[in-house]
Structure 1
Amino acid sequence: MTRPITFPQDRSCPYEPPAGYRSLRQEGPLTRVTLYDGSTAWAVTGHAEARRLLGDPRLSADRRKPGFPMTSHVLTALRHLPPLLFNADEPEHGRQRRMLIPGFGVPRIRALRPRIQQIVDELLDTMVEQGPPAELVSAFALPVPSMAISLLLGVPYEDHTSFEELSRLVMRGSGPEESAAARGKMLGYLEGLLIDKERRRRQGQEDGPQSGLLDELVRDRLLTGQTDHEEIARLAFNLLVAGHETTTNMISLGTLLLLERPDRTAALRADPGLLPQTVDELMRHLSVVDELLRVATEDIPCGTQVIRAGEGVVFNTSMINRDADHFPEPDELRLDRAGQHHLAFGFGVHQCLGQNLARLELEVALGTLFRRLPRLRSSVTVDELPIKPGDTIQGLIEFPVEW
């Protein structure tokens, strides 16, 4: 019997899944993989199977449960923490999600468009003023979502750079100790910020000019005794990290992929109305969050296989979003796709809460970038670009460009 392929794997091309995942596609929608610590789990690569299983309450997101699949040392170091939002089960997950839903509704996100447009314009003004070359990740792709999520939450604008560095250490620190230390610093800052917001509220002061979702949580949840500083700080921490790590990588990889497909770029410039479907197709094609993790709490039949209670399940998003049984020409970037329901934002009760914000940021960032810098190009070849490792959110570490 051959040993299952390893998961996760590093990409060799920044916008394509690892070559080793092709055998997963060939072996069927559900197959075994070996994780970094030597344990095994089920990998789901079929679109229909993924939608069915992600909606099955017999799969738990709680990483404290025995058998939960660990794909990196960072996750293993966090295993003991109480479940929170992304890795919480019902009813706790629903309670926490309901606290945050008002802040991520469509009207609230639409109202942010002028401010996000201003952020994008100011960053590009600085890039143009300094002149080429530029490093697109640090100059543009990273600060856009970092500033946007800070704006939504009500975190002071001037602190976004420290969050970017701490988030990098949390996700890609040299080891568990460095990741844990960065996480502790960020949580400490957030708790202090919440205490200050609570003090202002108790003293009857008006919300400051940089108020946001955190101020509302203090008013509606903290002061009413429905939650405490620690829970709000942990929720804010998760939103800050997830809210800019994913979109940062989508902006840089989306830019690279469109530059590699000049016909698609030309179509987008000719018809900006293609932006929304372009963003969705980029989400599907790039699948920067390449793993959704669960563990079975009961036996679950799936096709010819049975996922046994206590077995881990890894949803391999890059393969799910290229399932030829669901997506015609799955490896092609097609701007005419519609209504095919990619799973880049997940599915079921844990579907990404911030997807409206992510779409808005990508539409504004990519649309403005290609409009203002029509001669934008990479300064190096694709194989020279440094890529993030496979056990984290997929993306570019640096992206030197000129115009």
Structure 2
Amino acid sequence: MFPFAGSSYQGPSPRYAELRTCPQSVVKVPTAGGVDAWLVTEYADVRAAFADPRISRAAACGEGAPRVGGSMHTTPEMIISMDVVEHTRLRKLVAGSFTVRKIESMRPRVQEIVDELLDDMAAKGPSADLVQALALPLPLTVIGDLLGVPRQDLQSFERWARAFATVDDRAGGAASLEGLAKLSEYIVGLIADKRANPTDDMLSELIAARDNDDRLSEQELVTFGFTLIGAGFDTTANQLGNSVLALVEDHRDQWELLADKPELIPGAVEELLRHVNLFATDTTGFPRVAIEDLELGGAKIEAGDAVVIALASANRDANVFEDPDRLDVTRTDNPHISFGHGLHYCLGKTLGRIEMQVALEALIRRFPSLRLAVPASELPWHEGEINHTLTSLPVTWDA
């Protein structure tokens, strides 16, 4: 039954390794949603599925679409729910704000935020909750700066976004829908404020695109606003927290290697993105539906069939990665697919990389003796979310 048991931040369910040995690499599995779905597990097939316009996100959000379970609620107006024409239209509106050059220019500000957070952590030490001290406030502050969200509102926004990310189907999606409603209500108010008092930020640019050029509907504007904020902090916060946990607890030799050779950190971030499993279902969390008959990985997929793409499995494919279950911060040949591929390739990939690089470098440099303050078995995790999300990460260090 999909989602499979056994997934953790340490890696995907062992079931994926078994499936990658099957003669047919795309297999049909029963799901918690009550329908069968085609599961894509091998790297080459995952890339092909992401790039194939016949495997549709929009169709998965339509009326009567098959529900596979283990996925968060999305609406047709969200960019992550759109196919090529509408997705391209919305993506173009913000692409200029996410160029490598523009995002790279934010690195000094990211460094400033990290230094302030770690100064505060050191002053209160020698122990801290790394989630609250660094992993969460860093991306929240950065995306707040980028989009013009007042800092005093960020904690409320984080709480609503956390609810929106809930995937517990047993509750009928009530928590997710409530979070979505709160996010929408907040963005409506923020848009009204920025219409009256525009500032130099991305949300003000989107409002201008709506009001002056009519390139956005009002609902698209509201939805795009909270989608960008939610996507801009939640994945980075979880990836950073889980990566530090992996280094200090499971792979201490790699932490110490980075302390000795900080020049390895950019490559280490890529390896952490590949190795540390972010998604609780080992997939993107966003199922797709075939809109035409097609063949993939030896499977004959029919129009209307559900398709689930397993990112974490692709990142452990031995056909692409040597010794794929080993975390190796010196790995150089690393074409991981953690940011997706094709149409929905992550818009914020450069920003996420910068935040990870700056945070890890400063953390390792300033707290080389950092370690868990409690046994790993006692760490609290959020239940029923799209991501593996630590509630807290108690750490300590030598004063």
Amino acid across the alignment from 2:181: G
Alignment partners' CA distance in 2, 1:100 and 1:71: 31
Q: Cα offset for 1:74? A: 4.1
**Structure 2 residue matching 1:244: 3-state secondary structure:** helix
Alignment partners' CA distance in 2, 1:109 and 1:361: 11
Q: Cα offset for 1:223? A: 2.5
Q: Is the 8 A contact 2:72 2:386 kept in 1?
A: no
Aligned to 1:252: 241
Alignment partners' CA distance in 2, 1:64 and 1:129: 48
Map 1:1-400 to 2 at 5 A: 5-9=1-5, 11=7, 13-27=8-22, 28-62=24-58, 63-65=60-62, 66-72=64-70, 74-75=72-73, 78=74, 81-172=75-166, 175=171, 176-201=173-198, 207=199, 211-259=200-248, 260-289=250-279, 290-292=282-284, 293-389=287-383, 392-400=386-394
TM-score, structure 2 as length reference: 0.91
Amino acid across the alignment from 2:70: S
Amino acid across the alignment from 2:283: E
Structure 2 CA distance for partners of 1:192 and 1:83, relative to 1, 3 Å: closer
Q: Is the 8 A contact 2:34 2:67 kept in 1?
A: no
Q: Cα offset for 1:264? A: 1.4
Alignment partners' CA distance in 2, 1:84 and 1:322: 30
Instruction: Tell me the C-alpha RMSD between the 2 structures.
Output: 2.0
Q: Is the 8 A contact 2:194 2:204 kept in 1?
A: yes
Q: Cα offset for 1:399? A: 1.3
Alignment partners' CA distance in 2, 1:385 and 1:26: 33
Q: Is the 8 A contact 1:154 1:212 kept in 2?
A: yes
Alignment partners' CA distance in 1, 2:53 and 2:356: 32
Deviation by residue 1:266-321 (Cα, 9 ceiling, x = unmatched) = 22122222111111110111131331321111111123221111111111111110
**Structure 2 residue matching 1:387: 3-state secondary structure:** coil
Q: Cα offset for 1:133? A: 2.5
Alignment partners' CA distance in 2, 1:6 and 1:224: 44
Q: Is the 8 A contact 1:9 1:391 kept in 2?
A: no
Aligned to 1:204: none
Q: Is the 8 A contact 1:106 1:356 kept in 2?
A: yes
Alignment partners' CA distance in 2, 1:71 and 1:103: 34
The aligned length equals 386
Deviation by residue 1:65-123 (Cα, 9 ceiling, x = unmatched) = 45444333742xx4xx3242111012101101111111111122112111111111111
TM-score, structure 1 as length reference: 0.90
Alignment partners' CA distance in 2, 1:132 and 1:70: 45
Alignment partners' CA distance in 2, 1:107 and 1:288: 27
Alignment partners' CA distance in 1, 2:233 and 2:166: 14
Runs of 4 or more above 6 Å deviation: none
Alignment partners' CA distance in 2, 1:132 and 1:307: 56
**Uncovered stretches (5+) of structure 1, i.e. residues with no partner:** 202-206
**Uncovered stretches (5+) of structure 2, i.e. residues with no partner:** none
Aligned identity (percent) is 36
Amino acid across the alignment from 1:187: S
Q: Cα offset for 1:353? A: 0.6
Deviation by residue 1:309-352 (Cα, 9 ceiling, x = unmatched) = 11111111111100011111000112233343211000001111
Q: Is the 8 A contact 1:285 1:331 kept in 2?
A: yes
Q: Cα offset for 1:385? A: 2.1
Q: Cα offset for 1:365? A: 1.0
Structure 1, 222-231 or 149-158: larger mean CA deviation: 222-231
Q: Cα offset for 1:10? A: 5.1
Deviation by residue 1:113-168 (Cα, 9 ceiling, x = unmatched) = 11111111111122111123321112211111111111111111221111111111
Alignment partners' CA distance in 1, 2:165 and 2:79: 18
Q: Is the 8 A contact 2:270 2:334 kept in 1?
A: no
Structure 2 CA distance for partners of 1:305 and 1:188, relative to 1, 3 Å: same
Deviation by residue 1:175-218 (Cα, 9 ceiling, x = unmatched) = 422322222122111121112211235xxxxx3xxx41112222
